[in-house]
Each structure stands twice: as structure tokens, then as C-alpha cells.
Structure 1
Amino acid sequence: MAPKISLSMPPSFNSMAAPTPASPSWRGPHSGVPLSVASSAPAPTEIVPNLFIADLGAAENPKLLIQLGITHVLSAMCGRVLLPANVPLAQLQLPLQDSPFAELAEYLPASTLFLSEALRDPKARVLVHCAQGISRSSSVVCAYLIAKYGWTPDQAVRFVKSKYAPADPNPGFVMQLGEYARSLNKTR
């Protein structure tokens, strides 16, 4: 059983305005970084500045990580993730199953804290991934957006899908994102 983690965020966490594609700080997907990865999987996509989402193949690809300047990796999956040893990375791995009945909510405070701490450094570039880059990783990114900008789960999911078409949190994860949002609202 995992230890209980406080759901409160640092006071400065919500101080930034929510990004929009029209805002001057917004840089479109990939920030213009040319990717030379031949794969049927979608390329890593920048959801908000310096926060990328992708699949396991991207996380294990040293050339791609270096091209994107990735400094932190959040692995939202069980099993072994073979991050390249020659690329210096800070990592957090959450043992998430890809099932509507899997426990997501207990990991959201830790994942949100990891992302917020990393992204305080303007030079940091963070990759969030799961096996296919569809449900678990997008749910973790949505939780970050909910905590950072005070969005509803629906707003966060729509925003992530608008940037990264494969994003599709499973219904159980969407429900848990709602629980997470309500818990954050109680502490605000």
C-alpha cells in the first residue's frame, strides 16, 4: 500500500496564466525541432511549453531525447523502462495499470509535484509517457493541467486532445481526475 501524499500544491504553483495556442509563450508541437524517427507511433508532442507526451518508444530512444533536450521523464506504466544510460535524466515511474479500474488518483499528487518542480527550471524539458502514449500519460498530463491552471477534467482532456490526437484517458481515469480536481478545490 502506497503512503498517503498531501494533495496541496505550493502556493506559487497556480501563479502562471493558462496557456492557449494564441498566447505569445505558446510554441506549437515539437517547438520546431525536426524529428527523424521512423515509426508508426505519433511523435512526441509539446502540450504546454517544455512538457511533452509520447509513448514508450520515444522514452527509450536516446537520439530523440537528445534532439528534444529532454531532462526529465515521467513513466506512467508498470514494467521496466530502459531509459538510455548515456542521457542524464531525472525520472519518476508510477506503476500504473492501463485499466479503468486501476488506481490513478493516489499517484496524482506525486506526479503533479514532479512535473511542477521540474518545470520551474526554464531549461527543463519533460517527457511523460506510457506504453502507447494514449491513456495513462495523457491522464497524468491532464492532472498537471488541472492542478496548475484550475481546469476541470473536461477542459484538461479537451486541451490535451487538441494538441495530441491520440490522447484518450479511459473512463475510470477521467472519473479519478474529477476526484483529484475536487480535492484540489477543497485546499484552494
Structure 2
Amino acid sequence: MALSQITPTLFLSGAEAPMNATLVSQKGITLIVNATLNHACPTYPGVECLRIPVSDLPSARLGDHFDRVAERIHGNRGGGTLVHCAAGMSRSPALVMAYLMRYRGVTLCQAHRWVQESRPYVRLNAGFWEQLLQYERRLYGKNTVKVAREPSPPPRPPPRTSRLCPQLKLILT
């Protein structure tokens, strides 16, 4: 699970990529967004580190950081941005999706598809999905993704997909 390129200047990874000085330099990264509690921010000349100390728990308030992180990514005109968490599967993809919604004008459905195409193993926790749904509603006044919880026994028919995003079906346990 190495570095995934989302846009020409936006990258997503786990905690190993920002520790690779050669990779950071080759990609022209000038901003590292570190969405972890325990991983250090590396120090490189000309590279700023923005720390977002949030745990990967459904109760963690990652959504409180969506606007600030999106603004910093958008404002990083001098180089690339690397957003990372421990595995690059939950916190950092959620932050990237919030940025895409706010500054690229895409829906949550489109942002999820965009990120998933570059990083297929994205698996946000249920709390981060809820916070992204709230963020999308705040930005656009509606939601384009429906989240269904896996039913308790006896099993029910599978959830229906959203009409606006038929390929996206989220089952959260």
C-alpha cells in the first residue's frame, strides 16, 4: 500500500511514504498532512507538516478538521500535498474526499469513486462516513450516498443503492 496519486499534486498514503525522503522529493511534496496519533512528522527542508491528531475510531471527530485541511491542501500552490494516516485506508481518504467535495465541486459519491480508483483498499469507518455525509449535506444541501447498516439476524434483502450513485453501496457493521 504505497503512495496513491489522487490529482497531479495530491497524494494519499499510509505512514511509511512520508518517511521516504527520496519519494517526498521526487513527488515535489511541500505539505504533509499527518492524520495519526503516534507517527512522527518528518522534517525536510521546504516541507511543512500539518498534524491532525485523530484516532481511527467511529467516535473520533475527524469532521472537525475537514475545512482546515481542505483549505491547506487548496492553498498549497507551491508543490504537492501528501495526506497520510497509519494505513491510508480511513482517516486520510476521508480528509481527501472532504477536500475534493469542497474545492473540486464533486459529490461524496464522486469523491469516493475518485479516491477508490487510485486506492482500491480504502475502508472508512462508520463514524467517518457519517461525518462525510453531514459535510456533503452542509456543502450541497443533500446526500448522494446512502449508508446501510448490516442487518441483524434474520437476514434481510441487501440494501438498495442510491439512484444518484448506483455503483456505490456501503454496508457498515
Aligned-partner SS, 2:73: helix
Residue 52 of structure 2 is aligned to residue 72 of structure 1: no
Deviation of the 1:80 alpha carbon:
4.0
Q: What CA deviation, in whole Å up to 9, does each residue of 1:82-141 have, x standing for no partner?
A: 40x3442112111111011211111111111111111xx2x4111000011110010000
Counterpart of 1:99 in structure 2 is 57
Cα distance in 2 for residues equivalent to 1:149 and 1:58: 25
Counterpart of 1:46 in structure 2 is 5
Aligned-partner SS, 1:46: strand
Letter of the 2:7 counterpart: V
Q: CA RMSD in A?
A: 1.5
Cα distance in 2 for residues equivalent to 1:92 and 1:143: 16
Aligned-partner SS, 2:56: coil
Residue 139 of structure 2 is aligned to residue 181 of structure 1: no
Cα distance in 2 for residues equivalent to 1:114 and 1:86: 18
Deviation of the 1:185 alpha carbon:
2.9
Cα distance in 1 for residues equivalent to 2:112 and 2:58: 16
Q: Which runs of 4+ in 1 moved over 6 A?
A: none
Deviation of the 1:49 alpha carbon:
1.7
Q: 1:136-151, aligned counterparts within 5 Å?
A: 136-151=91-106
1:127 aligned to which of 82, 104, 110: 82
Counterpart of 2:168 in structure 1 is none
Counterpart of 1:158 in structure 2 is 113
TM-score, normalization by structure 1: 0.70
Is the contact made by 2:39 and 2:86 (CA closer than 8 Å) also made in structure 1? no
Is the contact made by 1:70 and 1:124 (CA closer than 8 Å) also made in structure 2? yes
Deviation of the 1:167 alpha carbon:
1.7
Aligned-partner SS, 1:151: coil
Aligned-partner SS, 1:107: helix
Letter of the 1:105 counterpart: G
Counterpart of 1:17 in structure 2 is none
Which one scores higher on RCO, CA 8 angstroms, separation ≥ 6? 1
Cα distance in 1 for residues equivalent to 2:79 and 2:44: 17
Give the percent of matched residue pairs that are identical in Structure 1 and Structure 2.
33
Deviation of the 1:64 alpha carbon:
1.6
Q: Which structure has more helix as a fraction of its residues? A: 1
Deviation of the 1:74 alpha carbon:
0.6
Q: Which one has a bigger Cα radius of gyration? A: 2
What number of residue pairs does the alignment pair up?
141
